[in-house]
Amino acid sequence: MTDDKHAKHAARALAAREGISYTAARRRLAGAVDQEQQEPRPPVVAPLTSRPCPEGCEGSGHPGTVCWSWRPADVKGGARWEVRRSAELPGGRAEQLAQRADGARHKTQGARWASFHAWEDRWLLALVYAMLTDQQPELLPDRARLRAAVETDDLAAVDAAMEPLDRAAARLMTKVPEVWWSEVKPLLNTYADAVENDDRELTTWQEIDARDVVDRLVDRWRTAWVPVRNHRGYMDPPGVLWSGPKGWLDALLVGQHGGHAPGARVRLTDGRPALVYAVEWGEAGPPVAYRVRELVPGQHGNGGRLVPSLTSAVLVAAVDCRADTD
């Protein structure tokens, strides 16, 4: 075997033995090699440009100096925090969408508990963003357009620039268990494998920084599926609250294009009341369909109250749903 194959084999063996991710094992082995086999070398200082470079800069204007590509965090003072974070991929935007959805409605105590745990798993949406932009670079927002939106403190313009990516994520994510387990989770597993086995040489500090972010997201994905013992001594089951990000994306896109947001009451064409719990999106425009749950009389002393039937999961075309004004 080549040295690289030996290294991969050793990393997989270490990961299995120590219960850590493949990426963490590669880092540990690389650190051991650096300490044992390499001679100490003085650090090389490479100056950065004093300000972000213009779009398309290839370094010819400042030879010997490392280019500094613009980032939303470079805007100081003139833009609100939420505007800058909403423009940062992958983690900043995922965090802001979760925060917007969490503060948009009043909740029962049970809903507060669910939203808290969904907030803890907001990294899952960041991982989805990372996968989509790696596999479909055309979904990345135009950098000049995004920069103008952030510098003018225009949150709506940031959302508009991000819409192709948000829409792709909303079409991928789901609240249907069968779709999650059979389609979405295997896609994320495959992407995690690709990241862990990607040995491309990174040439810029920003590429290294971006790869580190993705590596940490993949580590979170791996550890999420390993049972852990909690502070009470019980084993917490593995997994994430994967349905949460779908609701955040649906609420955002409904706010931009209209329609019925998750949680809205609607009437079907035959007059039955129902509750929207997920939205289906096309390539552009308003929703094309809704996943609804039929409203039925409650039980256990709540016979006069309509509640969603958790066993119903009906996909209804958007034209067949109207707002319930009764």
SS3 for 250?
A: helix
State the Cα torsion 119-124-129-132 to the nearest 10°. Answer: -150
Distance CA 243, CA 262 (A): 12
**pLDDT score for 44:** 55
Burial of 47-86, coded b for 16+ CB within 10 Å and e otherwise, reads eeeeebbeeeeeeeeeeeeebbbbbbeebeeebeebbbbb
Tokens describing residue 144: 């000049």
SS3 for 296?
A: strand
Identify whether the C-beta of residue 84 lies closer than 8 Å to the C-beta of residue 150: yes
Distance CA 51, CA 215 (A): 28
Task: Provide the 8-state DSSP code for 66.
Answer: B
**pLDDT score for 110:** 44
More confident residue, 190 or 111: 190
Identify whether the C-beta of residue 94 lies closer than 8 Å to the C-beta of residue 129: yes
pLDDT at residue 52 is higher than 60? yes
Distant-in-sequence, close-in-space partners of 19: CB < 8 Å, separation ≥ 6: 226
**pLDDT score for 45:** 58
pLDDT at residue 69 is higher than 70? yes
Confidence tier at 1 by pLDDT (50, 70, 90)? very low
Distant-in-sequence, close-in-space partners of 95: CB < 8 Å, separation ≥ 6: 85, 122, 126
Phi, psi of 283 (to 5 degrees): -70, -30
Largest CA distance in the chain: 78
Please report, for residues 29, 85, 104, the alpha-carbon distance to residue 112 in angstroms, rounded to integers and kept in the order given: 43, 24, 12
Distant-in-sequence, close-in-space partners of 170: CB < 8 Å, separation ≥ 6: 246, 249, 250, 253, 279, 281
Task: Provide the 8-state DSSP code for 265.
Answer: E
Phi, psi of 29 (to 5 degrees): -65, -40
Identify whether the C-beta of residue 176 lies closer than 8 Å to the C-beta of residue 287: no
Confidence tier at 103 by pLDDT (50, 70, 90)? low
Looking up tokens 């907030």 gives: 119
Predicted TM-score (pTM) of the model is 0.78
**pLDDT score for 55:** 66
Distant-in-sequence, close-in-space partners of 136: CB < 8 Å, separation ≥ 6: 168
More confident residue, 49 or 277: 277
Looking up tokens 């039937």 gives: 309
**pLDDT score for 4:** 65
Tokens describing residue 115: 């939203």
Closest by CA to 243, choosing from 156, 310, 325, is 310
pLDDT in tens, 210-263: 899 999 999 999 999 988 777 777 877 788 888 889 999 999 999 999 999 998
Identify whether the C-beta of residue 90 lies closer than 8 Å to the C-beta of residue 133: yes
Distant-in-sequence, close-in-space partners of 91: CB < 8 Å, separation ≥ 6: 123, 126, 213, 217
pLDDT at residue 179 is higher than 50? yes
pLDDT at residue 115 is higher than 60? no
The amino acid occupying position 310 is L
